[in-house]
Structure formats: structure tokens, C-alpha cells
Copies of this chain bind each other. A is one copy, B any other.
Amino acid sequence: MKALAVDLGGSHATCALVEDQKVLLSQTLTTEGSKGLASLLPSLASALSKIMHEVGAQPADCSGLAFAFCGLVDHSRAKVVSTNAKYDDAPQLDLRAWCRESLGIRFEIENDARMALMGEVYAGAARGSEDVVMITLGTGIGGAAMIEGRLLRGRHAQAGCLGGHLPVLFNGRRCTCGAIGCAEAEAAGWSLPQVCRATRGFDGSPLAKEEPITFERLFHHAACGDPVALEVRERCLAVWGALVVGLIHAYDPEIVVLGGGVMRSSAAILPFLQNYADHHAWTPWGKVRLRPAELGNEAALLGAIPLLGGQTTR
């Protein structure tokens, strides 16, 4: 089975032709989320057509176009329902009509974290499992959940994909979502500099001499023994541990897949979180396995196959 796929993030859009468990050809465009989606659509259609042409495929060979969007999506109506300062015109667009007119094929759209989960279930770290939570640790913290083979969506398309917005510190920092002490507000790329600066002794830490403060630098300086970096690293790990336990308790998975840019430091994160879950999650049936995502940037693209084929999206 072949399919077209678009993975749209805030600063890039990857267009691809996928077949079964492989990305045959892809092209990544630089975008500006603040400029809206409507003006971007012609470039997407032309990139997809060019890819098909290069591979020698026709629209009729593809079961459809699957669109991974960085916001809340109502899959059943093929509509974006909410954005967060990126592509704010998207809820007004009839993307299904655009796809029909420009490519002449079926159109499906889903939240990007849900599509990444579907990809990892179909061809990656959670292959064959029906009970999966995915967490992406990056600038923010994304999430998605599958329960008994069914992708969790919810009445307003929010269920499962606000994983980073479970409060883990009830008296903590204000999050961009409006809540207080969300995991994302306590230990994600955008909040890390605030957390570091609020740590005693920060001014004397090598972290204070570098901009921007990233997890990569944090883990580096912690490994070198800087006490501020060590303290913040322990705090972030404990926040993520609490989040993993909360998501296990909420969704009852067998596997938690961890992805996102922060997992480049996987060796410093995964063993800690597996041990944390083993000791603190209440799972009388056994142990939840934590696994690094395997598909990287291709996860959402490969999610196109199950999204269009219906597997794992019962």
C-alpha cells in the first residue's frame, strides 16, 4: 500500500510518499507557522506531485493523503479544531476539498503526536502492541495514547494528546496552556531555562555562561559534575517519572514509547525512567516497558498507512 503523507510542524513541513513500512521519498520545506496554512497549501501540493513524479507513481496508486498537524484535530470531520499560534487559519480551511481539487485523492488528518504513535505501533518501537502511550520530550511535551487497539481521541479531540499537561506540581509554574505545574512547565525545552535560573547557585554554573540553555548542555554539565546541572537534571527526571506514572495510571498501557529531541540523551533518561516506573507505577499485572522511539522524524509519516488503512485506528 502506498500513501502520501505530510508532517507539518511549526517551522517545517515534510512531504512524503510512503509504502508499507518505508518512506520512499520525502522533501522538507521550511515554513512559517505564523503566516498561516492557506498560503502554504500550493507548495505542499506541488511538492507531493513532484515526489510522485520522481518515483513514477500516480495519485491513483495512493490510498490517500494523511496529514499530521501540530494542533488539535477532529479526525472524523477532517478539521483542525484548535491551534497554538501556528497556522491559526487552519480551522477555517476545507482541507478535504483542497486535497480533492489539487491531488484528486482521499484526505485524512490527525494530530501529529497521534500519527507518530500510530507509526511507532505500525512499524517502530511498539510494533504489535495495542496498549501504548507515547511521550515526546522536546520544546514541549507531546503525547498520545492507544487503548486496546483503539486510538484515544475523545469528544473534543483532546484525549491522550495533552500528556504533557498533566499537572505534576500543583503549586508550580504557570504553563502556556493556562494550567499550573504541568510536566511541560516544569521540565521541557521552553521551561528549562526558567528552572535553571531559579536554582540556587545558577550564576556560578557553566550553564549561566551559555545561551540557549538546552537539555543537551544540561546533561553534559551534569555529567561533568556541575552541582546546579546535577540538581536540575535530577529534578527533570523526577518530573518525567511522575508524568510516566501518571500516564500509566491514566491509560493502562503495556508500552511507553519515548521520543522527541531530548531523547538524544536517552542513556541518561531511559534507565532512570524504567526503574522509576518499575518501583512507582501500580501495575499488579506486571511491568510496563519503556522504549525509545525508533522512527524519529519518520514516525508521523509512517502513521499514514494505518490512518488510511484503518489498522490500529479502530
Contact = CB atoms under 8 A, between A and B. Distances in A.
Interface of A: 72, 81-82, 130-131, 147-148, 152-160, 162, 165-171, 177-181, 186, 238-239, 241-243, 245-246, 249-254, 279-285
Contact of A252 (B155, B170, B243, B285): B155
Given A177-B282, A242-B170, A281-B178, A130 B155 contact: yes
Given A155-B252, A252-B156, A282 B170 contact: no
Contacts of A154: 131, 147-148, 251-252
Q: Chain A: interface secondary structure?
A: loop
Contact of A170 (B168, B178, B179): B168
A148, A156, A239 interface centre (most CB from chain B within 10 Å): A156
A150 to B, nearest CB: 9
A304 to B, nearest CB: 24
Nearest to A253: B155
Given A131-B155, A169-B169, A249 B179 contact: yes
Contacts of A282: 158, 162, 165, 177-179
Contacts of A155: 130-131, 147-148, 252-254
A72 B131 CA distance: 18
Contacts of A242: 167, 170, 179-181
Contact of A147 (B131, B152, B241, B252): B152
Given A167-B245, A238-B171, A239-B170, A156 B283 contact: yes
Contacts of A180: 242, 245, 280
A170 B160 CA distance: 20
Contacts of A130: 155
15 contacts: A148-B154, A154-B252, A155-B254, A157-B252, A158-B249, A158-B285, A162-B282, A166-B249, A166-B250, A167-B246, A168-B168, A171-B238, A178-B280, A179-B281, A250-B250
Contact of A72 (B152, B243, B281, B284): B284
A285 B246 contact: no
A157 B249 CA distance: 11
A146 to B, nearest CB: 10
Given A162-B249, A166-B249, A167-B245, 5 more contacts: A82-B285, A170-B186, A178-B281, A180-B242, A180-B280
A72, A153, A158, A180 interface centre (most CB from chain B within 10 Å): A158
A188 to B, nearest CB: 14
Contacts of A162: 249-250, 282
Contacts of A169: 168-171
A282 B242 CA distance: 20
Contacts of A157: 252
